[in-house]
Amino acid sequence: MKSIDDFSRPEEYISPLDKHFRSVVRAWVDKDVMPHRREYDEDWKEHTLIEPAFDNLMANRGLGIQKALFPADLGGWGLGQSDYAFTIACTLAEEVGRADTAMAVAFMVTYWPLTTILVEPHVNRRLAAEFAPMFCKSDKAVFAALAMTEPQGGADIENMELLGGKTIKTTARLDGDEWIINGHKLWPTNTGGVGQLFGVPCTTRPGSTDPNDFALIFVPADMKGVTQGGPYEKAGMAADKNGDLWFEDVRVPNWYRAHGPGKDAQVFKEIIPWGLVGSMGFLVGAMMNLYEVLYEFVSTRTYGNRPLKENDAIAGLIGRIAGDIEVCRILAYEGARIGDRRNRPYGHPLYSEEVLAKLRNLKDFVCDRAVENFGRAMDVLGVYGPDRQYDIEKHWRDIKIIQLWMGGKQLCQMEAARYFYNCKTL
């Protein structure tokens, strides 16, 4: 049998650490996730099964991967300094996403706000030192969240290009050496009770489009005035809790702001590429699992009394699925490399229109292929397609949300169009 590792990657881009990361995470997946993932849907509220698995991946008592971005001298692995940070992120997203994309997103979103203060060239040493113990010394999985979305406006915050933050309703007011934060966020990954640190985009002057008025402020969940609602019930992605988040006169030290006026808006733009590359990694991972399941099914079940895969028409159909996985994997790693080129002479900064538009386009493309191919695969399984025991239907429910998040498909389309056609009014 061909293995999932036979799908192409751009070999010249791969980190020397890739093999190591991949193998330890895959071992964890096979031991801690695969045997239980079919029960995750019923565990959406309590995370009785899910939490221990996270501990084994993220915390000190397990692989300890939650410290990866922190500088080595603060107890982390120093991946924030790596030339391959995006490529490794893609690898991790793939390996965890293969088992459960919700788990992958919950785990990786923990890095998300931290990229703004831990990844070269934007390391904020003081904040890094402040939060390092929380992540590097814990025997429990510790989750962070990026609290973007607000009740009105949906994807508006992600639409920084167009709106410049003018719709942000969450406010930060400087009072002496403290920020006072007020606002209501909803749906961030790692809320619903699990988040322990929030990166909170807010405005210092409501209605302003001046980037200097945009602030990204870190708020530990145990500060007074922070309230997390319970998790929403969703069609899938049970391992990722989402809920409401209220900030009521929450006070944090003034140096909890990521970088300061102007720079905050820039680093906020720079998180988008991470989210897009991660999304592609999740999808490719899920599709690699799709391939494994499908391979087994088409080899053992029959049409016309011959294995499905030996019927030329079905072979054509499943061949297209495998071919799309191949294509998407190449694109995901090319996307990761676009990120890793950020510090190179022939690369572009993460906040550049070029990087944002190209990654939006690739993410949109990979999402479409994933939605299409999981749907097709369920039909190949036919009466067995909707059965959770066959593992495809869970992915089918889960991956649709990847298409919908971060502003969804239409925002991707608009950013790509703006870039390629120099549109002025979209």
Partner 1 sequence: MHKPLDGLFLSTREHIDEEEQRIVNTVRQWADREILAKRLTYLEHYEQEFAGKRGMLLMEIGLQRLALSEENGGFGWNSKASAPCLAAVLMEIGRADAATAYMSALQFTTILASGADGTSPIDTLISRFYSTDKPVNPALILPGPGSQDEQTPLFFGRSINARLVHEGDSAILFGKNMRPAGCGALADHFCVVCADSAGKPWIAFVPADAQGIQRGNILQETGLNACANADITFQHVRLPREATLEGKETVEGLYLWLNLFLGATSVGAAMNFFEIVYDWANTRTIKGGSLMKENPLCASVLADVAEEIAIARFLTDDLARLIAMTASPNGPELQNVYTFAQIVGYRVQQGAMRAVNRGLELMGSAGYAREWHAEKHWRDIKTIQSYLCGVGAEVPVKMDTARFFFDCREI
Residues near partner 1 (CB under 8 A) are 38, 41, 149, 152-156, 159, 162-163, 166-167, 187, 232-237, 242, 299-305, 307-308, 311-317, 371, 375-376, 378-389, 393, 396-397, 400-401, 403-405, 408-410, 413-414
| Residue 356 backbone phi and psi in degrees, to 5 | -60, -50
Scanning residues 72 to 91, which ones bind a copy of itself (CB under 8 A)? none
Q: How far is the CB of 181 from partner 1 (least distance, A)?
A: 22
Nearest distance in Å: CB 138, partner 1: 29
Place of tokens 């500088």: 71
Query: Closest Cα partner for 33 from 54, 62, 60?
Result: 54
CA torsion, points 307, 309, 310, 315, in degrees to nearest 10? 150
Q: How far is CA 1 from CA 296, 311, 317, 319, 418, in A?
A: 10, 18, 19, 15, 44
Q: Nearer to partner 1 by C-beta: 35 or 386?
A: 386
Least Å distance, CB 331 to partner 1, is: 20
User: What is the CB-side half-sphere exposure of residue 420 using CA atoms within 13 A?
Assistant: 11
Distance CA 376, CA 405 (A): 22
Binding site partner of 326, from partner 1, a copy of itself, none, Cβ cut-off 5-8 A by kind: a copy of itself
| Closer by beta carbon to a copy of itself, 10 or else 230 | 10
Specify the residue, 176 or 316, whose C-beta has the smaller distance to a copy of itself: 316
Instruction: Kindly tell me which residue out of 226, 272, 377, 414 binds a copy of itself, with binding defined by CB under 8 A.
Output: 414
Q: Which residues, in sequence order, are CB contacts of 47 under 8 Å at separation 6+?
A: 194, 239, 241
Nearest-approach distance from CB 312 to partner 1, in angstroms:
4
Cβ count near 73 (within 10 Å): 11
Tell me which residue has tokens 């809790």: 241
Do residues 147 and 199 lie in contact, with contact meaning Cβ atoms separated by under 8 Å? yes
Q: Could you say which residues in the range 284-343 bind a copy of itself, by CB under 8 A?
A: 291, 295, 298-299, 306, 309-310, 312, 315-316, 318-320, 322-324, 326-327, 330-331, 334, 337-338, 341
Q: Is 379 in the site for a copy of itself (CB under 8 A)?
A: no
- Cα 209 versus chain centre, distance: 27
Q: What are the residues binding a copy of itself (CB under 8 A)?
A: 1-2, 6, 8, 10-13, 291, 295, 298-299, 306, 309-310, 312, 315-316, 318-320, 322-324, 326-327, 330-331, 334, 337-338, 341, 346-347, 354, 358, 361-362, 364-365, 410, 413-414, 416-426
